[in-house]
Amino acid sequence: MLKNATGQDRTYAAIGMFAGVRPEEICCMSWSMVDLDHSRIRIPGSITKTRIGRTIDLEPNAVAWLSSVAQKEGPVVDGDSSCLIGRLKLAAGLGRWPQDVLRHTFASYHVCAFKDAAKTSLYLHDRRGTEVLFRHYFRDTLVEDAKKFWSFQLPVKHATPPVQAPTWARNDIDSFVLAELEKRGLKPVGPAKSELLILATNMLDVPAEVIALIYKYRWTIELFFRFFKQVMGCRHLLSDDPDGVRIQCYCAVIACMLLALWTGRKPDKSTARIVGWFLCGLADEAEVLAHLNRPNNRGVKLAAKAELWKKLGL
């Protein structure tokens, strides 16, 4: 979202996500309150919900994102905030914009990353206290995601490295590749013949015929793992050992075949879930039958979606 947003849209999103400022407070802020030199935001009590001012320390990535759109003076957000939210929804690819989603994102990732509920509560200026903050926002499963969130940096365009044969490079990527080749004392080859296909790989111990076979079935492999993850719910591998991966794949395929035999329909994620609940005793036979007998409205939904896009001219 931040990468796709520009101008005040990026400003609004960055302050909300990385500082946890309330939407109505962001709309009242001016650039004089944003001190990027000292990595902090000072919000006066005159514009806060509680009428008490506060200072929020900014992490390095927040400073970098705000620096890309910073102004010397003037309001941080100028204009109708509803239009701004609409543009951010498009930039984020969201169909719905949950209330205070940026502020809640900050709260979850700040308390999970830094494990300092008192500081998070101070920045949010939430009077409900640290106990409520931990109960609603802290999750062990979010700790790793929180570390990634606070390391999310502004994309920087690096200068093209100097090369000895600049005519070979057709774009910036070629220049970086050529620079690495020259550093290793290698020379690039000329254009490949039309009947020759060159594949780059790091599987140096695998015969070329096997590499070609993998490339030929690359989309089949991609579709299998899409089914493996999305339909069967295998979000991650249980083992890094080849035998462990093989067993997990066999189990997923066997489960898929059993679902097809039991239900008489194409397996999907919801069917796998309800059957799993039934086997665990969390759903009864009537609930399973109700799920299996429900009408399939996928075609109707797709037609309605296509008609909506047609009306919007997209």
DSSP helix/strand/coil, 57? strand
What's the distance, Cα to Cα, between the start and end of the chain in Å?
A: 21
Q: Indicate if 21 and 134 belong to the same structural domain.
A: yes
What is the extent of the structural domain holding 178? 157-191
For residue 124, the domain's CATH number is 1.10.443.10
Q: Indicate if 292 and 274 belong to the same structural domain.
A: yes
pLDDT digits (tens, 9 = 90+) for 252-309: 888 888 888 888 877 877 888 888 888 888 888 888 888 888 776 666 666 777 777 7
Q: Indicate if 130 and 184 belong to the same structural domain.
A: no
Kindly report the length of the chain: 314
Select from 134, 168, 191 the last residue of a domain. Answer: 191
Q: Indicate if 171 and 105 belong to the same structural domain.
A: no
**Residue 225 domain-assigned (yes or no):** no
Total domain count, the chain: 3
Is residue 62 within 8 A of residue 18, CB to CB? The reply is yes
Is the predicted pLDDT of residue 43 greater than 90, yes or no? Answer: yes
pLDDT digits (tens, 9 = 90+) for 214-260: 888 888 888 888 887 777 777 778 888 889 888 988 888 888 888 88
Token pair, residue 291, equals 């799920």
Average pLDDT over residues 1-24: 88
List own/partner pairs for 301-304 with CB under 8 A and 24 or more apart: none
Q: Indicate if 256 and 301 belong to the same structural domain.
A: yes
**pLDDT at residue number 290:** 85
Q: Indicate if 24 and 119 belong to the same structural domain.
A: yes
Cα-Cα-Cα-Cα dihedral sign, residues 31, 32, 37, 40: negative
Is residue 36 within 8 A of residue 70, CB to CB? The reply is yes
Q: Indicate if 142 and 15 belong to the same structural domain.
A: yes
**Residue 55 domain-assigned (yes or no):** yes
List own/partner pairs for 59-62 with CB under 8 A and 24 or more apart: 59/18, 59/150, 61/18, 61/150, 61/151, 61/152, 61/153, 61/154, 62/14, 62/18, 62/19
Q: Indicate if 17 and 140 belong to the same structural domain.
A: yes
Q: Which helix (H) or strand (E) holds 226?
A: helix 218-226
Tell me how far apart the alpha carbons of residues 167 and 164 are, in angstroms, rounded to a whole number: 9
Q: Indicate if 163 and 135 belong to the same structural domain.
A: no
Mean pLDDT of the chain: 83
Q: Indicate if 11 and 73 belong to the same structural domain.
A: yes
**pLDDT at residue number 229:** 78
Q: Indicate if 77 and 53 belong to the same structural domain.
A: yes
**Residue 90 domain-assigned (yes or no):** yes
Is residue 66 within 8 A of residue 58, CB to CB? The reply is yes
**Residue 20 domain-assigned (yes or no):** yes
The phi, psi pair for 42, rounded to 5°, reads -110, 120
Is the predicted pLDDT of residue 192 greater than 80, yes or no? Answer: no
Q: Indicate if 56 and 162 belong to the same structural domain.
A: no
**Residue 118 domain-assigned (yes or no):** yes
